[in-house]
Structure 1
Amino acid sequence: MSNTSSHERQRLIFLIASGLSTAGSFAGLTAKGWILMDETKEPMVLALHFAALSLPTMLVSGPAGVRTDRVGCERVLIQAQWALLGAGLLGAFSIPVLDGQPQVLMLLASTLLVGIAGAYELTARNKYCALLVDDNSELAPFLTSFSVVFNVGKLVGPLLGGLLITLTGPATALTLDAATYLMPIASVIWLLHPRTELEMRSAPGEKASLRVAWRECGSNLRHALMFTGLMCVVGFFHPGLGPLIAARELGDAPMDLAIFTSVLALGSIAGGLLLQRNSHRFCRRPSLTLAGFALVTAVAQLGMAIGGDAPFLLTMTLLIGAGTAGLLSSSNLITQVGSSQTLRGRMAGLGQIAFLGGGGISGLIAAVLTDTMGLQATFAISGTLGVVLALLEICRRGGTVLNEVRSV
């Protein structure tokens, strides 16, 4: 078997293992979200739950990127996957042995640890992907394939989580979440053979810092990161308030939350497929791509503010999923293919700070607005700001062109 076909098989294995793990993760997050909604009925608790998952990126994504570029992506990837397994088991352990506020705190702690370990895992995985391709021209399609597989897992996971909660209770969903982390661990340790000899690591000292990566990545990538972060602060709050939005618009049963989350995932798949089929072309026009996806999200949020029957609201939910997935995936794609190999770990860390850190802040802001002004007013404010910022970006920088870095 040729080396090329061997790498193709390994990429497929990595995609499948990651997809199965993602499905388990979203089953667990659905279970946690429903438990917190059922126990507290508080939007701020739901926002804190998403913040516990996303805000650690603001503190640890930088060190994760530095460590990945210094010691190697495979080593960091394996360590992060073991840490994810432990954090998942902590959440599963809380269901049978705790109740009330201690259980809520343990679930939040589990999600916090998942957020910390996940920051290292995603940072290392981005750089690891470049070691499974034979030519750098294959990197963009491979990275966008990860986005599609991730969103398929995001579609299947909530449905599975809602079904497991209904039939067997949340403990089963959380146990499944923890168990699925074993799949990518096994694939990386025993099945995959990346071209680690080609990995370029940063030298120790000042040149390995996040600040140097920010300075050396270039003005186009810096602007892409700043715009992504800004748009996430403005409008990426639905992961945190998902249980509340589903309860207000559809119903408060576990399957209502599963349907809402799965429609978001269907939109995410659509956005990911659009990006995958146009990966090189979309990379060339970073501002137009990012602002276009942001505009779709903002218009859909205005639709949610207007309101309507269930089919209309689910259509708007679908568009929110497509717009946000396209924004986050294209930001990751642009910063990876537009940077050199020695910077890719740190660029992945900076990307996480932008979209997950921004999303965590967005959830907290939206929770306060929802408490004081209502959910529809929150959608109206977010959508209006998003439309204005996206149109300004298109007008000012829509013609910006980015050249892909050709070295693996």
Structure 2
Amino acid sequence: MRVDSNWHQRQRTIFLIASGLSTAGSFAGLTAKGWILMSGTQNAMLLALHFAALSLPTLLVSGPAGVRTDRIGCEQVLVQAQWALLGAGLIGALAIPLLNGKAQVSVLLLSTLLMGVAGAYELTARNKYCALLVDEPQQLAPYLTSFSVVFNVGKLVGPPIGGWLVALTGPAMALSIDAFSYLLPIASVIWLLQPNTAQEQRSTGSSSASLRTAWNDCGPILRNVLQFTAVICVVGFFHPGLAPLIAADTLGPDPRDLGLFTSVLAAGSIAGGVVLQRNSHKFSRRPAMTLGCFALITAVAQLGMAKGGSVTMVLTMALLIGAGTAGLLSSANMITQVGTPQIIRGRMAGLSQIAFLGGGGLSGLIAAALATTVGLSHTFAITGGVGLVLAGWEIWRRGETVLPERTETE
């Protein structure tokens, strides 16, 4: 048993590292795309559309992705999605040397849209796949949150890599790294990992395997987790899409300023992820309190951004925004996974994506319209104020709610 446990631990580490390196490449590419769109158009709505192209596909495909994952198996869906991400990334990389002007912008948005579709399948399958790499049910929550920390480390190093590559060699190099970085998780899943597939439960092709069945079966506590996450993300999860605009307005127009800003956001995400990872069992038992507190941190930081001030003040608020949103999204994902049986975890991962990525895509469009109309600082004031009220209400109404602890992986 000791040998098996050590081997599974090494597998978990391999998967974490491969996914983290791939994430770094992805954020280098997203930073490059954002800078291209910002420098070429100075259009806040176009930046919001870019983030929406990445996140809004979750509203349409996360449900089918969850159903497919539960039916045919998470490993098969995971590998297929990673190959699709590689292809979508190559489309964006080829757009730089081959196209220009509106055609280039259109293909870059198409590349991001395809990555959003493939990413919805990849994230859904990956969540369920993680449960096949743990030995005991109690290991799942810490592993999922450790995965979030490594993911955010990739977010930390990716943007400055993207900014420096754009400044030194041009955006094509950053987008190429983005595309080929997907080879790392593909290779790890195909050749290095040996998950306990006998543990996986698959649904049938009947109506009981639908997304609606998972919604009904997950229970009122987890339904509230999904609902609150969706609403709070619509209100305040717009900073990934508008990061180039925010950085240009608060720090400067240089791509390295964008790299700095997004890196500080990622550093905050790492901090939020570490706090969640170290308290995963306790936080997963109190879903409303956990989500409400992370949402409260984000709202207060947005109000700080509205007030403005020195560069240090701006970066401090960005750090808190990163911590609050990462804690919110990671805890929503963790709670919906550990609180449900194995057979519906693919569909629950799909519902979680609809809540936070779909909500984030809508948030970016709303915030871009507000920024165009009333300005960025007033946009932060509005979203921070609304978020503060919603978070306080959630804590007051449901803060004492306790999620029953599951004792098995099935």
> What TM-score does the superposition give when structure 2 sets the normalisation length?
0.99
Task: Tell me which amino acid in the other structure corresponds to 1:320.
Answer: I
What is the CA distance between 1:205 and its match in structure 2? Answer: 1.0
Which residue of 2 is the match for residue 37 of structure 1? 38
What is the CA distance between 1:405 and its match in structure 2? Answer: 2.1
**Alpha-carbon distance in structure 2 between the residues aligned to 1:255 and 1:11:** 33
SS at match of 2:22: helix
Aligned residues between the structures: 408
Which residue of 1 is the match for residue 107 of structure 2? 106
**Alpha-carbon distance in structure 2 between the residues aligned to 1:39 and 1:313:** 25
Task: Tell me which amino acid in the other structure corresponds to 1:318.
Answer: L
Which residue of 1 is the match for residue 168 of structure 2? 167
**Alpha-carbon distance in structure 1 between the residues aligned to 2:137 and 2:346:** 16
SS at match of 1:161: helix
Which residue of 2 is the match for residue 330 of structure 1? 331
Q: Which runs of 4+ in 1 moved over 2 A?
A: none
**Alpha-carbon distance in structure 2 between the residues aligned to 1:394 and 1:199:** 35
Deviations 1:2-23 (A, max 9, x none): 1100000000000000000000
Q: Following superposition of structure 1 onto structure 2, how do residues 313-352 of structure 1 map, counting pairs within 5 Å?
A: 313-352=314-353
**Alpha-carbon distance in structure 2 between the residues aligned to 1:102 and 1:66:** 35
Which residue of 2 is the match for residue 55 of structure 1? 56
Task: Tell me which amino acid in the other structure corresponds to 2:307.
Answer: I
Which residue of 2 is the match for residue 128 of structure 1? 129
Q: Following superposition of structure 1 onto structure 2, how do residues 149-168 of structure 1 map, counting pairs within 5 Å?
A: 149-168=150-169
**Alpha-carbon distance in structure 2 between the residues aligned to 1:114 and 1:18:** 16
How high is the sequence identity, in percent, across the aligned residues? 71
SS at match of 2:202: coil
Task: Tell me which amino acid in the other structure corresponds to 1:86.
Answer: G
**Alpha-carbon distance in structure 2 between the residues aligned to 1:91 and 1:123:** 23
**Alpha-carbon distance in structure 2 between the residues aligned to 1:176 and 1:95:** 13
Which residue of 2 is the match for residue 401 of structure 1? 402
Greater Cα offset, 196-205 or 220-229: 196-205
What is the CA distance between 1:197 and its match in structure 2? Answer: 1.1
Which residue of 1 is the match for residue 374 of structure 2? 373
SS at match of 2:104: helix
What is the CA distance between 1:29 and its match in structure 2? Answer: 0.1
Which residue of 1 is the match for residue 190 of structure 2? 189
Deviations 1:240-286 (A, max 9, x none): 10000000000000000000000000000000000000000000100
**Alpha-carbon distance in structure 1 between the residues aligned to 2:213 and 2:285:** 24
Which residue of 2 is the match for residue 226 of structure 1? 227
**Alpha-carbon distance in structure 1 between the residues aligned to 2:407 and 2:95:** 48
Say whether residues 1:359 and 2:346 are aligned partners. Answer: no
Any conservation in 2 of the 1:231–1:294 contact (CA below 8 Å)? yes
Runs of 5+ consecutive residues of structure 1 not aligned to the other structure = none
Which residue of 2 is the match for residue 309 of structure 1? 310
Deviations 1:183-212 (A, max 9, x none): 000000000000001100111110010000
Deviations 1:215-244 (A, max 9, x none): 000000000000000000000000110000
Which residue of 1 is the match for residue 80 of structure 2? 79
> What TM-score does the superposition give when structure 1 sets the normalisation length?
1.00
Runs of 5+ consecutive residues of structure 2 not aligned to the other structure = none
Task: Tell me which amino acid in the other structure corresponds to 2:178.
Answer: D
SS at match of 2:142: helix
Deviations 1:282-313 (A, max 9, x none): 00100000000000000000000011010001
Give the superposed CA RMSD: 0.5
What is the CA distance between 1:317 and its match in structure 2? Answer: 0.4
Any conservation in 2 of the 1:296–1:319 contact (CA below 8 Å)? yes
What is the CA distance between 1:404 and its match in structure 2? Answer: 2.7
Say whether residues 1:260 and 2:261 are aligned partners. Answer: yes
Which residue of 2 is the match for residue 241 of structure 1? 242
Which residue of 2 is the match for residue 69 of structure 1? 70
